[in-house]
Amino acid sequence: MKKISSIFSILFPLIIIYIYLFMNGKRTTPMDELYLASALYFLCILPFFLYFYLQEKNIPYVALFGLTYFAYYGLGIFHEYDVYTFQQVNPHVIYRTLLIIFFGFVSFIFAFYSSKLPVERIVPHINIAFDTTKIWPWGARLTLIGLVTHYYTTQEKSVPLIFGSMVTFLDQLTLVGMGVLFLTQLKGKLKLWPKLMLWCFAMPIRFIFTLSTGGFSTLVYETAVFVFIYLYCRQRIPWLIIILLAFPYLLIWGARDRYRDRAWLGDYRGKTAFERGFMYLGLIGEGFHQTVSDDDTEFLDSAYSRLSARSNQFVTFAKVVELTPDYVPFWGGFTYRNLLLSPFPRVLFPDKPIKNLGQDFGHRYGFLDPEDMGTSYNLPFTVEMYINFGVWAVIAGMFIIGIIVRIIYALFNHPLCGEGGFLICAVIFVSILNLESDFSLLFGAMIQELFLFYIIMKRLKLKVERIS
């Protein structure tokens, strides 16, 4: 009876959300597209439902992958369908693109769930446990090293190209260090002064630094790391915290364009990271005052509208399907030419080719102005599969990604992974949740992060065990 009640509590809000989306979509969307998008919705929430139904004790990456996939490729069919009319996308192309997206996700979840037994027979389960009372000082040191590196990279100083990967590598130490401190605190073993360091020094400074970059997705992904750590220690998803964060994060997004105008082109160009960060906070405060004190929802409405447009990758996919290969020939694997070199830092390979894929893709398909030589247009890995080889590449590529994710699950994402294994898994999953990136960027970063953790484990002499 308890399990039935639990299932109902999961299904009920998902069905209510679907009914709202369907009724909203009926006003503008053709019914054949609406039905196919509905099938995509239920397919994408299936891993989310299974996570709770099976009471899995791990990071719900596949569940989050499904929700993110739907937000990028399915939500726009129900919401703001007029975008496709405005972009002059042929209705037949919209339906064909939806089919590709649908069967791509079918391939992903089939690969992930069907490969569980064979992968777990081959791939070892890793346990990396550590004593938090002994490791937390290293967490504090890593945090400080990362903050110093992050401060340097936000000062508009030119980092030599050869050291770019190394700087990114050092910058990630902050996230690892703070993760160790937060995990130690949740286990009740963190002393007062490192606790003060985490919440009164490291967290605020990292937040200001991240704001000063003008990047929104980085802030969301880094927050996800701490949500994952909370999930590991408390064995429950902090829904209340996630809901409470939605409003301030919408305010941050709403102020982003005004911030970029001032920080990148206006009176705050060349200012320090602290000055730019606090200016951003001022803009956020103005948006909050406009919304609450003046009872004006224009700021939030505009922010939500722009966020919806920003997360809608369906337009990009549909335009690519429309133009390839009739007007733009297949790339034939061109974007994967440096795949094997992508995990290695340039300091080891000075002659490593410079990657300019965001410019090449944006110009080839007309997403960027011909005179724009500075903007990088995101190439999602699913779109990348299609532009190289077509429909079957999407099916095969998503199948391969499903296998890769299952291997990570087998290695680290299991109840006996230990504190170290869990931290590795949390950072990796956050990096590969960015579905807007191309394949080499996504999985090249994953290899670099594994190398980072290998160095840390060797330095701290952590014991790595293979468990049955």
Higher pLDDT, 460 or 387: 387
Give the mean model confidence (pLDDT) for residues 85-107: 86
- Which residue has 């990114």 as its token pair? 168
Own/partner contacts of 260-267, CB < 8 Å, gap of 24 or more, are: 260/214, 263/212, 263/214, 264/214
Residues 181, 132: Cα–Cα separation, whole Å:
8
pLDDT at 302 over 80: no
User: Cβ–Cβ contacts within 10 Å for residue 157, how many?
Assistant: 7
Q: Write the burial class of residue 68 (CB in 10 Å: 0-12 exposed, 13-18 middle, 19+ buried).
A: middle
Please say whether the beta carbons of 123 and 410 come within 8 A: yes
Q: Decide if pLDDT at 67 tops 80.
A: yes
Choose between 159 and 150: higher pLDDT.
150
- Which structure tokens are listed for 185? 């605190």
Is the pLDDT at 448 greater than 60? The verdict is: yes
How sure is the predictor about 102, in pLDDT bands with cuts at 50, 70 and 90? very high
Instruction: Give the model confidence (pLDDT) of 200-238 as tens digits.
Output: 999 999 899 888 888 888 888 888 888 888 888 887 778
Using N-to-C axis directions, what is the helix angle for 273-292 and 298-311, rounded to 10°?
A: 120
Q: The pTM is what?
A: 0.88
Q: Are 439 and 336 in contact (CB under 8 A)?
A: yes
pLDDT digits (tens, 9 = 90+) for 427-437: 888 888 888 88
Residues in Cβ contact with 118 at an 8 Å cutoff, skipping those fewer than 6 apart:
none
Could you tell me which residue, 109 or 369, shows the higher pLDDT? 109
Ranges 145-154, 214-223, 324-333: which has the least confidence: 145-154
Residues written for the chain: 468
**Tens digit of pLDDT for each residue in 43-65?**
999 998 888 888 888 888 999 99
In this prediction, what percent of the chain has a pLDDT beyond 70?
A: 88
pLDDT in tens, 288-301: 887 777 666 777 77
Alpha helices in 312-356 (DSSP H): 314-323
Output the CA torsion sign for 241, 246, 252, 257: positive
The pLDDT value recorded for residue 154 is 62
The predicted-structure confidence for 261-283, as pLDDT tens digits, reads as follows 888 888 888 788 888 889 999 98
Question: What token pair was written down for 461?
Answer: 């002499």
pLDDT digits 0-9 by tens, 363-394: 888 888 877 776 778 889 999 999 999 999 99
Pick from 340, 386, 379, 328: nearest CA to 357: 379
Give Cα 196 to chain centroid, integer Å.
29
More confident residue, 2 or 121: 121
Asked if the model's pLDDT at residue 324 lies above 80, the reply is: yes
Q: Average model confidence (pLDDT) for the chain?
A: 83
Query: Is residue 467 scored above 90 in pLDDT?
Result: no
